[in-house]
Amino acid sequence: MKPITTKKEYLSQKEALEDLDICFNLLTTSSASFIEQESIAKKEEKYFFIKNEILSKQEFLLIDFFNLISRFRLGIKDLHSYFYLETEKGCLYIPFYNRQYAYSTTDLFEKKGNKRFVSVNCKKQIFLGEELKENIKIDSNKVYFGKVIQNNKEFYRLIQFSDEKRKEIIFERDENKFHLTPFDCSENSIPNLSQIYNKKNLNYWIIPSFRNSEEFAKKCYESYAAETQKDKDFLIFDMRWNYGGIPYKQVELLFHLFKLDLDVFYNFCVDSENDEDLLESSQLISKNIAKENYKNLINSKDSWKNKDRMINFWKQEYEHLKDNEYKWHIDKGKFDSPWYYNQDFSKKINFRGKIIFLVNHETSSFGELFYDYITKILGYENILMIGTNTCGMVTYNNPLKFRLKNSGIVLSLSTGTDSDRRQTAFYKKFIEGRGFFPEYWCSKDEEIIETINFITKKEDNNEIV
């Protein structure tokens, strides 16, 4: 959906009420809204509060209406969903849930015992804190420690999180002030790293996402498919600025790389009589959702097995569902698919190289879940994540965009969630909004290069990383 700049400054009471009803109906068929709010009463409570505010005025400033209607987001933990409005004066954006940004010191620390970290520059400065691990719940009032490489040695940096973008955070401790700055990303790092790391024993691959052009993605995957025939000791997956989408191509690449049975991949769709069984996740189905999915598939230039059946499925759902009708499709998991295949995968993998998974705070959705797919579905363990914490946009999926009729406000709403409810619960509790944590923290070119050199050198010396 292309952004449309609205020239309106005011909404009449009638227009505001009409958009309110449209918004409420859309939220009812959002998977995140459906799951996060335990009963319809919670949404109705917000609905009547907003409605009473609208009824108190004959007209509304568009910006005021935008801020008012965005109250629906409260209590919904979903980064895929947001409110957006483009006006002549600028763009307004409110996510349903705030993500966590990492800030760190330049000071280095050494770990001395359990949860005890000592400053390298001042041995009197001792902190008690936790090393960042996957199953830690982040508290913005606490400090944590992330492992870094400097001068070919392992150290730690003090890290604190904030749900706001800032230039710096000042942390005070025993009359000392620590200036914490965000992990910066160099825009030139992609070509720089590409020149450095396409070597005889190492490949550097930029993994495309849906935001890249089709020409760029095609060029990448054709090049990588040829390279998978050559055994390399190290492989860098650069997932920075990977915003998710196109998992089909990413998973296909792994099947080539790991020399797995491609027939399993190409024939993963069950030739079921029921088209609904072809859906790849559990999701809510409504008239609005069916319309958007149908439109997106018709406009998509990608091709895959049973695409025509999916187009027909969404067309039929749109034609037969009533305006406010919806149903919940539960995906039980298709164990002949590459997403849920049996656990013997790891025994069949012929690739033995070290995969370095390079991420930053822009790595989103399947871009970050790709790591989990490699380790938990395919069972490949010789992989290491470096960079910064990822975006944390993982609990829900398949976001669709809807535009409110009168105000022009755009709602991005998730419509699906993973079929594995236990995994979804874990993502929601720990990962959503916070992201995955790297083994080694780094963001600037020189930090990344030093970290990669450290890893490859240790591997060459047969040391465990």
In this prediction, residue 187 carries a pLDDT of: 53
In whole angstroms, give the CA distance from residue 58 to residue 16.
Answer: 10
Residue-wise pLDDT for 221-235, tens only, equals 888 888 888 878 899
> Which of 28-37, 211-220, 301-310, 379-388 ranks highest by mean pLDDT?
379-388
> Is residue 185 scored above 70 in pLDDT?
no
Which amino acid type is present at position 329? H
Q: pLDDT digit string (tens) for 189-200? A: 666 677 777 777
Q: Among residues 338, 377, 357, which one has the least CA distance to residue 435?
A: 357
Q: Which two tokens stand for residue 113?
A: 């015992």
Strand pairing category for 169-173 and 153-162:
unpaired
pLDDT at 169: 78
Contact 381, 399 (CB under 8 A): no
What pLDDT score was predicted for residue 67? 95
Q: Report the helix count and the strand count for the chain, using DSSP H and E.
A: 14, 22
Longest CA–CA span in the chain (Å) reads 75
Greater confidence (163 vs 269) lies with 163
Cα dihedral value 49, 55, 58, 59, nearest 10 = 30
Predicted TM-score (pTM) of the model is 0.87
The pLDDT score that the predictor gives to residue 62 is 94
For residue 311, the surrounding DSSP H or E stretch is helix 307-320
Number of residues assigned to the chain: 465
Percent of the chain at pLDDT > 70 equals 88
Q: Cα separation of 169 and 177, whole Å?
A: 10
Beta bridge partner(s), residue 155: 148
Mean pLDDT for 299-311 is: 81
pLDDT value at residue 335? 44
Give me the mean pLDDT over the 351-367 stretch. Answer: 92
Residue 253: left if φ>0, alpha if ψ -120 to 50, beta else—which one?
A: alpha
Residue 285: φ, ψ to 5°:
-125, 125
Q: In the prediction, which pLDDT does 63 show? A: 93
Model pLDDT, residue 195: 74
The share of the chain scoring above pLDDT 90, in percent, equals 39
pLDDT, tens only, 82-113 = 999 998 888 999 999 988 999 998 889 999 98
State the pLDDT at residue 337.
55
66 with 92: CB under 8 angstroms?
Answer: yes
**Who's near 168: CB < 8 A, 6+ residues apart?**
103, 179, 180, 181, 182
Q: What number of other Cβ atoms are within 10 A of residue 91's Cβ?
A: 10
CA distance 369 to 373: 6
**The pLDDT of residue 450:** 94
pLDDT, averaged across the chain: 85
In which residue are the tokens 């490489």 written?
Answer: 149
Q: Which helix (H) or strand (E) holds 182?
A: strand 176-182
Question: What is the pLDDT at residue 459?
Answer: 64
Per-residue pLDDT of 45-84, as tens digits, reads: 899 999 999 999 999 999 999 999 999 998 888 999 999 9
